[in-house]
Amino acid sequence: MLPPPARRELQGQPSSRASRAAPPGAGGLRSAGMSRETAFHPRIAALTDDWMDLFGYAAPAVVTGTSEEYRAVREAVGLMDFSMLRKVDVTGPGALALLDGMLTRDLTRLRPGHIAYGALVDDDGKMVDDCTASVLAEDHVRFCGANDRDAEMFAAAAAGTEVAVRPFTDDMPHLCVQGPRSRDLLAALTDDDLSNAAFPYYTFRDGVRIAGIPVFMTRLGYTAELGYELWVERDRALELWDVLMEEGQAWGMRLVGMTALDLLRIEGGFIIGGVEYDPSVSPFECGLGWAVDFAKERLHGRAGLERDRTATTRRLASVVLDDGGDEATAAPLHLRNGGAPIGVVTQAVHSPLLEGRTLGLAQVHRDHRSAGTAVVAVVGGREVAGEIVSHPVYDPQRTRAKEKS
């Protein structure tokens, strides 16, 4: 059954993430008026004047209305501009081995055409970025993250080798098409086979033609729904936008702002830099412990990762509160019986899935992250009761994202 709409509209207020989203190396924290513009900005600016800064770029906060945008993704299809994510091509002899040594996942297990999601950490095993790596061949890996520091680290590792590191973020903007009807919409615009058998979850295709426009297409997303990313050459970006907007009318597509995306990501349990982690946080504390492969021969930051696997005590969880909404962001959490502090809410929203109740992601002590743990959050100086719940709350098995029909 589809989730019900929110009890109230969340109009026009930028996400609390706006003031914290720019990672180290991305130019610092800036207002949306000072942010860089993506290739799609001229089209988006005709639809909204409500902006926020996301990783140094201007991103729409609200377009038509947060509830409407949220429902489009959960029930039909939503379109999002994710061009601000940093893109890096690593090429040449030894490219796969070099990037495999830098990331926490074992990329050598991937066949060409497949994607791995994991973490990039610093020398001490602390978070730099959560990211994806798409393996085109042993001499070509395509990286996507959100931090300028990523490319700098790769370039330093490649010094003196035949490996080339090329950042190309602005050369190839990209759109996310997300929702249960996303495949139908895209299938109407291409002759390529988009069936699950031909194009499964966490794979990519290079050279898919959408209405004749070549794109690099990945099957993944940030919403816990069936979805795709479309990377396109900059000089054809607006052409792709126009094609999708025209065809999308038949499928109930809506342009989605970052405020609605917060609802989707928090329900789906997805993390973001500057909120769930910063350079002081280990992968184990922000929900990426599973993505650290200690069996790899080369693992950047191994000593720190080995230490933090047991030395750190906080772990990612979901928490439902009786009240608070966005104001519960950054609220300390205590055990309800006994009052001992156990963690902090990283970000909270009024969840449409929970009929407007407050849902947050949180970092809590590993001994108290079991569903049903009674907690109290200190929100604006008052105590609000709640409990730790199963994480994530929306489709934990990712059955919708892996939709096979």
d(C-alpha 235, C-alpha 243), whole Å: 14
Domains of the chain: 16-83+170-268 (3.30.1360.120), 86-167 (3.30.70.1400), 313-405 (2.40.30.110)
Residue 32: predicted pLDDT: 57
Q: For 275-313, write each residue's pLDDT tens digit.
A: 999 999 999 999 999 999 999 999 999 999 999 999 999
Query: Minimum mean pLDDT among 4-18, 48-62, 197-211: which range?
Result: 4-18
- CB–CB of 148/131 below 8 Å? no
Is residue 35 within 8 A of residue 58, CB to CB? The reply is yes
Identify the pLDDT of residue 3: 31
- Strand locations in 169-251, DSSP E? 174-178, 204-210, 213-218, 227-232
Per-residue tokens: 111? 């066949």
The residue that leads in pLDDT, 27 or 122, is: 122
- pLDDT-above-90 percentage for the chain: 90
Give residue 304's pLDDT. 98
CA 16 to chain CA mean position, Å? 16
| Interval 57-111: pLDDT, tens | 999 999 999 999 999 999 999 999 999 999 999 999 999 999 999 999 999 999 9
pLDDT digits (tens, 9 = 90+) for 319-357: 999 999 999 999 999 999 888 999 999 999 999 999 999
275 in Cβ contact with 17 (< 8 Å):
yes
Closest Cα to residue 253, out of 57, 75, 378?
Answer: 75
pLDDT value for 404: 73
Give the DSSP H/E element, type plus range, for residue 107.
none
Our separate counts of H helices and E strands in the chain read 8, 19
The amino acid occupying position 253 is M
CA atoms within 13 A on the CB side of 79: 25
Q: What is the pLDDT of residues 121-165, one digit of tens each?
A: 999 999 999 999 999 999 999 999 999 999 999 999 999 999 999
Task: Tell me the mean pLDDT in the region 28-46.
Answer: 79
pLDDT at 6: 30
Pairing of strands 253-255, 77-81: parallel
| Residue range 381-394, pLDDT digits in tens | 999 999 999 999 99
Q: How far apart are CA 76 and CA 255, in angstroms?
A: 12
Q: How far apart are the C-alpha atoms of 227 and 30, rounded to whole Å?
A: 30
